[in-house]
Amino acid sequence: MTDNQDYIKPDLPALAKDGWPTLEKGWVWLVGGGPGDPGLLTLHALNALRQADVIVYDALVDEHILQWANPAAEIEYAGKRGGKPSPLQRDISMRLIELARAGKRVLRLKGGDPFVFGRGGEEAQTLVQAGIPIRIVPGISAGIGGLAYAGIPVTHRDVNQAVTFLSGHDRTGLAPSAINWQGIADGSQVIVMYMAMKHLPEIAEKLISAGRDPHEPVAIVSNATQADMRILETSLIDAAKDAAQSDMKPPSIICIGKVTLMRQCLDWMSQAQGIAPRNLDPLGVRAQADSA
């Protein structure tokens, strides 16, 4: 093995050259910033940070990421802060259009993946309707990468062949009304919920009424991938009560289903600190190392 230094040699190709895309004046790139850990940014995101004249970022973007921006870049915050209401989506889109029309290279940086419950689709549509050229840079979504940091695989052959990503509220802020709860309860062994802490009591109750086992395991991961990540292991019936009694801080992702048990074996972050796995076979089906 070579020394680790060999991997961080400074003679890597400059990202904006050699076929890497150039952020041109008047363009807007909608870029996913991942769930928090800056190491989960994509190289395209880093490339965008280096080139942008203006960066418009959201509340869920880890501010460490902004340290990689071009030092001359203007940085604008477009999230909710200090109890003030979030800026209207329309105002954010209009601001992006204004910046692009002023000839700026605009980076719109959003938490996770811009097209997963992040209104990225709406922003992109408004830009295209205004004739602004765009590029989309996907990111690691909290509902996949965030759970992976808690040692939870969103799919596992012994548990599920499907996973449902669910928003905990609809555009009115209420628990989602257009959801076919029976369909979800019957059809998806694993349910990953974003923005669902507020309406968790109602959602859990709907899933149980639709036939989900009240004792089904649930994991709630707050500040996933960040230094202050917290994980609560509970059950569908107790999830809302346990969450209310905990000191978990938003944002939180909620995973319902037996894949959450895999954490007992795959909590790699604890293992890195020398804590042994609690259970090598949490699903009770793979006592031996199995190559099949």
Active site residues: 58, 80, 195
Alpha helices in 139-291 (DSSP H): 147-149, 181-187, 200-209, 239-245, 263-266, 268-272
Report, in Å, the least distance between residue 10 CB and ligand SAH.
31
The answer to whether residues 135 and 123 touch, using CB atoms and an 8 Å cutoff, is: no
163 - beta bridge partners?
190
Q: Considering Cα of 191, then 196, then 197, then 202, what sign does the dihedral take?
A: negative
Nearest CB to ligand SAH, comparing residues 60 and 207:
60
User: Which residues would be at the binding site for ligand SAH (CB under 6 A)?
Assistant: 35-36, 60, 110-113, 116-118, 141-142, 146, 194-195, 221-226, 251-253
Cα separation, 163 vs 175, whole angstroms = 20
Tokens read off for 67 = 């340290």
Cα separation, 149 vs 48, whole angstroms = 25
Nearest CB to ligand SAH, comparing residues 228 and 290:
228
For 42, the 3-state DSSP assignment is coil
Strands 134-137 and 190-194, sheet pairing: unpaired
Report, in Å, the least distance between residue 158 CB and ligand SAH.
25
Q: How far apart are the first and last CA of the chain?
A: 30
Report, in Å, the least distance between residue 73 CB and ligand SAH.
22
Tokens read off for 4 = 């680790």
Tokens read off for 274 = 């020398």
Report, in Å, the least distance between residue 255 CB and ligand SAH.
10
Report, in Å, the least distance between residue 111 CB and ligand SAH.
5
Shortest-Cβ-distance residue relative to ligand SAH: 112
Peptide bond into 250 cis (omega under 30): no
Nearest CB to ligand SAH, comparing residues 188 and 225:
225
Nearest CB to ligand SAH, comparing residues 28 and 104:
28
With both helix axes pointing from N to C terminus, report the angle between 120-129 and 89-101 in degrees, rounded to the nearest 10: 40
Nearest CB to ligand SAH, comparing residues 81 and 215:
81
